[in-house]
Amino acid sequence: MMENSAILQPGSSRDAEAAHLTVKDACVFLSQYASALLGCGATCIRIEKNVQRMAETIGVDYSMTIMPATVQITVWDKDRQHSYSNIQKIRKSGTSFNINTQLSRLSWDLHDGRVGFGEAAGRMERILQTRPENRWLVLVLASVANASFCRLFGGDFISMGIVFIATLVGFRIRQMMLEDKIDIRLAFVCASFVSSVIASAGYVFGLGSTPDIALGTSVLYLVPGVPYLNSMSDLLDGHYISFLSRFLDATVLTVCLSAGLCGGFLIMNLRWF
Amino acid sequence: MDIILGTLQDAFFAAIASVGFASISNPPHRIYPVCAGIAAVGHSLRYVLMNAVDMHLVIASLCAATVIGLLAVFLAPRTKAPAEAVSFPALLPMIPGMYAYRTFQNLILCLRGSEEEFHHYFYLCGSNGLTCLAVLLVMAIGVTIPIFIFKRISFRATRQI
What residue spans define the domains of chain A? 4-128, 135-267
Q: How far apart are CA B42 and CA A267, in angstroms?
A: 39
Query: What backbone torsions phi and psi does residue A84 show, to the nearest 5 degrees?
Result: -150, 135
Asked if pLDDT for residue A21 goes beyond 60, the answer is: yes
Give me the mean pLDDT over the B66-94 stretch: 88
- Tell if the CB–CB gap between A143 and B145 is shorter than 8 Å: no
Exposed, middle or buried by CB within 10 Å (0-12, 13-18, 19+), for A43?
buried
Asked if pLDDT for residue A257 goes beyond 60, the answer is: yes
ipTM over 0.90: no
Q: How far apart are CA B124 and CA B102, in angstroms?
A: 8
B117 interfacial to chain A (CB closer than 8 Å) = no
Cβ neighbours of A239 (radius 10 Å): 20
Q: Chain B interface, mutation test: which of A106, A220, A237, most B Cβ atoms within 10 Å?
A: A220
- Tell if the CB–CB gap between A229 and B91 is shorter than 8 Å: yes
Which residues of chain B have a CB within 8 Å of the CB of A213?
98
Give pLDDT, residue A37: 93
Query: What backbone torsions phi and psi does residue A210 show, to the nearest 5 degrees?
Result: -130, 60
Q: What does the mean pLDDT of chain B come to? A: 87
With CA atoms as reference, the chain A residue closest to B104 would be A258
| Residue B37 near residue B117, CB atoms below 8 Å | no
Query: For residue B97, which of B131, B126, B73, B143 has the smallest C-alpha distance?
Result: B131
- Confidence class of residue B146 from pLDDT cuts 50, 70 and 90? confident
Residue partners of A58: CB distance under 8 A and separation at least 6: A22, A26, A110, A117
Question: At what angle are helices B83-91 and B32-51 packed, to 10 degrees?
Answer: 50
Give me the mean pLDDT over the A51-68 stretch: 91
Lowest-confidence region among A77-86, A230-239, B102-111: B102-111
With CA atoms as reference, the chain B residue closest to A141 would be B20
Helix (H, G, I), strand (E, B), or coil: what is residue B6? helix
Query: For residue A58, which of A104, A138, A115, A12 has the smallest C-alpha distance?
Result: A115
Give pLDDT, residue B87: 87
Give me the mean pLDDT over the A145-173 stretch: 92
Query: What backbone torsions phi and psi does residue A68 show, to the nearest 5 degrees?
Result: -60, -40
With CA atoms as reference, the chain A residue closest to B156 would be A108
- Tell if the CB–CB gap between A152 and B155 is shorter than 8 Å: no
- DSSP alpha helix (H) spans, chain B: 2-24, 32-51, 57-79, 83-91, 97-110, 115-149, 151-154
Give pLDDT, residue A161: 93
- Confidence class of residue A195 from pLDDT cuts 50, 70 and 90? very high
SS3 labels along A169-198: HHHHHHHHHHHCCCCHHHHHHHHHHHHHHH
With CA atoms as reference, the chain B residue closest to A259 would be B104
- Tell if the CB–CB gap between B145 and A236 is shorter than 8 Å: yes
Across the A:B interface, residue pairs with CB atoms under 8 Å apart total: 167
Lowest-confidence region among A71-85, A127-141, A148-162, B143-157: B143-157
pTM: 0.86
Gap from A78 CA to chain B (nearest CA, Å)? 25
Asked if pLDDT for residue B140 goes beyond 70, the answer is: yes
| CA–CA–CA angle B40, B132, A165 (5° rounding) | 60
Q: What is the torsion angle, in degrees rounded to the nearest 10, for the CA atoms of residue B109, residue B129, residue B21 and residue A32?
A: 120
Query: For residue A192, which of A213, A215, A162, A212 has the smallest C-alpha distance?
Result: A215
Gap from A35 CA to chain B (nearest CA, Å)? 18
With CA atoms as reference, the chain A residue closest to B29 would be A98
Asked if pLDDT for residue A97 goes beyond 70, the answer is: yes
| Residue B140 near residue A228, CB atoms below 8 Å | yes
Q: With the C-alpha atoms ordered A42, A44, A45, A48, is the resulting torsion angle positive or negative?
A: positive
Give me the mean pLDDT over the A29-51 stretch: 92
Cβ neighbours of B59 (radius 10 Å): 15
Give pLDDT, residue A271: 63
- Confidence class of residue A132 from pLDDT cuts 50, 70 and 90? confident
Surface of A (103-142) touching B: CB under 8 A: 104-105, 107-109, 111-112, 114, 132-133, 137-138, 141-142
- Beta bridge partners of residue A74, listed in sequence order: A63, A85
B39 interfacial to chain A (CB closer than 8 Å) = no
What is the biggest distance separating any 2 CA atoms in chain A, rounded to whole angstroms? 89
- Tell if the CB–CB gap between A46 and B158 is shorter than 8 Å: no
Give pLDDT, residue B61: 93
Residue partners of A255: CB distance under 8 A and separation at least 6: none
Gap from A153 CA to chain B (nearest CA, Å)? 7
Query: For residue A20, which of A56, A67, A48, A60 has the smallest C-alpha distance?
Result: A60
